[in-house]
Amino acid sequence: MSNSRALSAPLALLLLHSLLFLVSAQRSTWNTLGGGAPLVVARGGFSGILPDSSGAAYNLAVISTGPDVYIWCDVQLTKDGVGICQPDINLANSTYIATIYPNKTTSYSVNGVPTSGYFPLDYTLKDLSSVILTQGVYSRSTLFDGNNFGILTVDDLVKLDKKPKGIWLNIQHDAFYAQHNLSMRSFVLSVSRSVVFSYISSPEVGFLRSIASRFNPKTTKLVFRFMRQSDVDPSTNQTYGSLLKNLTFIKTFASGILVPKGYIWPVDATLYLQSHTSLVSDAHKAGLEVFASDFVNDVPSSFNYSYDPLAEYLQFVDNGDFSVDGVLSDFPITPFEAIGCFAHLGTNATKKDKTLVISKYGASGDYPACTDLAYNKAISDGVDVLDCPVQMSKDGTPFCLNSIDLIESTTVAQSSFSKFAMTIPEIKSGSGIFAFNLTWNDIKILTPSILNPFAKYRLFRNPRSKNAGTLLALSDFLSLTKNQTSLSGVAIIVENAAYLADKQGLSVIDAVIGALSKAGYDKPGSQKVYIQSTNSSVLLKFKEKTSYELVYKIDETVGDAANAAVEDIKSFASSVVVNKDSVIPNNNLFLTAYTNIVPKLKNANLSVFVETFSNEFVSQAWDFFSDPTVEINSYIEGAQIDGIITDFPKTADRYRRNKCLGLGDNKPTYMEPVQPGGLFGLITKEFLPPAEAPLPPLTESEVAESPLPPVAKIAPASSPNARTKFPQGNSQPKVTVCFFLSTLAVFIASLLLL
């Protein structure tokens, strides 16, 4: 027995050390103050979608993210001293109060700033009982304003249908209310007798110091909120910049600080990231937690994030140097994804999803389309299939460019080649400078221009590199891809073949076949060759001459396909490209329902690739919460598509490696695919947009085409001349060419590139 006891002590000690090591390893995963995962605070609930501080917004935050979310309430006081949750001291910014009390604005000095509006302190809670909340950010949908969401009191938060992990009160204007004989301190101390608050924050030192002794930091943590560094705390008359230099003083009354994210990762005047500051490490050394604010998915922050909000969160929680202890967000689903599924993946995380990632002109969201930079970026970002839309030069050189019109992605209109401007209405509307009018030597020295598909929303892509890179001949493209072991294939896109053959005497099909053969792609290898076209006649010609994988692109938005059309496609293609709206249509950017197009095609053993997935929030339906990862997840998990065509392949490839894939019933709430019609169903009848007609099906007549015309023998001419007409739609386009040398047209084209 003595030997047994003698052995048990070292064994117990060993087990204790092992346990402590495991706990330490677990804690050290995060560079937060306490070693745990950062928390997520939903500002006013899910205020990026529903009216701020409404019961529906608070409930949606919990429904969409799970029970670990904290909800934020900006406390305002009514005339009778009741605390209400409203994001602004001026109720006109978040409610329809002006319709209930027209022409009743008042003016007050708020922290020394004269302010006019509707102030809570002028109304009793009963006066506000009929006031309806509105979406206060005008760029967001107002269709939920008809739901008659009323103002909530702080006490109402504990009565919500969906229970959060905790409640965070923010006391923004204690000094202002004190000037009008309303005590925020008395209210907070009174309500805390019946409601437990996890956090209480304020930008006023005086308020936090006045309540510090009344709260146990193990139950309720006090947080000092920093405003702009030049702003002044009314309780101390010190700027927040000066208070930032005295964190040890802040520690005497607070457990943490809440700062605008620019305090940590500042951006320069051109919206590019600068080096991070030492604030987080300095605060942690002082024993203070650091919470970052101002996170919104629908306001661009820095071009470094390529319009990907998840990438921004990762910059704050998983940068290798530090992690903030929490984030305050209008879109809480995105930080939950970042923290729960994407942090600490490392550079060699295993792919857990087999969905193909196919580039759209390379990584054209970051660099000019089809340039060496765009292609190399796509490869480094994890793309599976690199694409080359083939255009033909005047001297018959095939090269990669997104459009036959050089104006769309080069500065050709500002060059001496502007004299080649002409119109071919059925190829494109307006004038263009077409590739077949310039030699390859002329084209390869053109300055590329980055695509800005959302410029009308003032969303521009990577301005620093807007003219960077060089264009590639198809042979150069294939030389680049051939030895890239990370690539599973190349996609060669062929359009306008009939026109080029009949009117320009150029055979793009023969040029492509020759280039592929010369590069060795006609021999068995690890990379597939996908030939894509909207024209069945083109794919039939490739089928006749090669054994490459053929991909048919449906260029209409369709909700189904006739059986005969599907059988016709199967006769020459193994995959189909459709647009996003063909899979999940929307009404006023609210998803309505899944269509039958994906099941119909997949049941016929056709792979379905979907385009175009972009990071910019304006490219996504409201249901995706301005988050490209939510959109990708919903199409892959919900619609079961086989491939994603994207101009930001990094976002799609990162999705395939996230830790939350393959968890089955243990998958977190925030990684569930969205349900089409979910948000649309919340809109009241009076605010519903008009119903839209069902999407038409693809018919057999839209697939079938006449054979391609032979390659014409055309003598060299100073300008093309074409009159022949071809079938419309997915068929060969009608082409009517007229030479167009209007100075005005060239001038307009030049303006588009500015």
What integer pLDDT is reported at residue 28 of this predicted model?
55
Residue 441 lies in a domain: no
Percent of the chain with pLDDT over 70: 91
Residue 474 pLDDT greater than 70, yes or no: yes
DSSP strands (E only) in 265-355: 289-295, 326-329
Residue 325 lies in a domain: yes
* d(C-alpha 406, C-alpha 410), whole Å: 6
Percent of the chain with pLDDT over 90: 89
> Are residues 366 and 228 part of one domain?
no
Structural domain of residue 524, as residue ranges? 356-401+457-693
Residue whose C-alpha is closest to residue 277's, from 293, 292, 289, 262: 262
For the segment 53-79, the average pLDDT, to the nearest whole number, is: 98
Residue 723 pLDDT greater than 70, yes or no: no
CA 727 to chain CA centroid, Å, is 38
> Are residues 386 and 277 part of one domain?
no
Residue 734 lies in a domain: no
- Cβ-contact 87, 53 below 8 angstroms: yes
* d(C-alpha 515, C-alpha 537), whole Å: 20
Last residue of a domain, one of 669, 693, 717: 693
Residue 476 pLDDT greater than 70, yes or no: yes
Q: What is the pLDDT of residues 281-315, one digit of tens each?
A: 999 999 999 999 999 999 999 999 999 999 999 99
Q: 687: exposed, middle or buried (C-beta count within 10 Å: 0-12, 13-18, 19+)?
A: middle
Residue whose C-alpha is closest to residue 39's, from 346, 341, 330, 323: 323
Residue 140 pLDDT greater than 60, yes or no: yes
Tally of helices (H runs) and strands (E runs) in the chain: 24, 29
> Are residues 307 and 369 part of one domain?
no
Residue 24 pLDDT greater than 60, yes or no: no
> Are residues 331 and 394 part of one domain?
no
Radius of gyration of the chain (CA): 30
Confidence category of residue 267, pLDDT binned at 50, 70, 90? very high
- Cβ-contact 709, 498 below 8 angstroms: yes
> What's the pTM value of the predicted model, to 2 decimals?
0.91
* d(C-alpha 474, C-alpha 508), whole Å: 11
- For 666, the token pair is 């243990």
> Are residues 386 and 281 part of one domain?
no
Last residue of a domain, one of 315, 342, 369: 342
What integer pLDDT is reported at residue 120 of this predicted model?
98
What integer pLDDT is reported at residue 716 of this predicted model?
62
For the segment 636-654, the average pLDDT, to the nearest whole number, is: 98
For the segment 180-202, the average pLDDT, to the nearest whole number, is: 97
Q: What is the mean pLDDT of the chain?
A: 92
Confidence category of residue 146, pLDDT binned at 50, 70, 90? confident
> Are residues 377 and 336 part of one domain?
no
Kindly report the CATH number assigned to the domain that includes residue 153: 3.20.20.190
Residue 20 lies in a domain: no
> Are residues 272 and 393 part of one domain?
no
What integer pLDDT is reported at residue 307 of this predicted model?
98
Residue 315 lies in a domain: yes
What integer pLDDT is reported at residue 187 of this predicted model?
98
Domain count, the chain: 2
For the segment 368-394, the average pLDDT, to the nearest whole number, is: 98
> Are residues 654 and 557 part of one domain?
yes
DSSP for 550-595 reads: EEEE--S--SEE-HHHHHHHHTT-SEEEEEHHHHS-EETTEE----
Confidence category of residue 4, pLDDT binned at 50, 70, 90? very low
Confidence category of residue 347, pLDDT binned at 50, 70, 90? confident
> Are residues 296 and 364 part of one domain?
no
Residue 474 lies in a domain: yes
Residue 30 lies in a domain: no
* d(C-alpha 397, C-alpha 748), whole Å: 29
> Are residues 381 and 238 part of one domain?
no
- For 537, the token pair is 């006649």
What integer pLDDT is reported at residue 309 of this predicted model?
98
Confidence category of residue 754, pLDDT binned at 50, 70, 90? very low
First-residue to last-residue Cα distance in the chain: 89
CA angle 610, 614, 620 (to 5 degrees): 85
What integer pLDDT is reported at residue 733 of this predicted model?
39
- Cβ-contact 308, 628 below 8 angstroms: yes
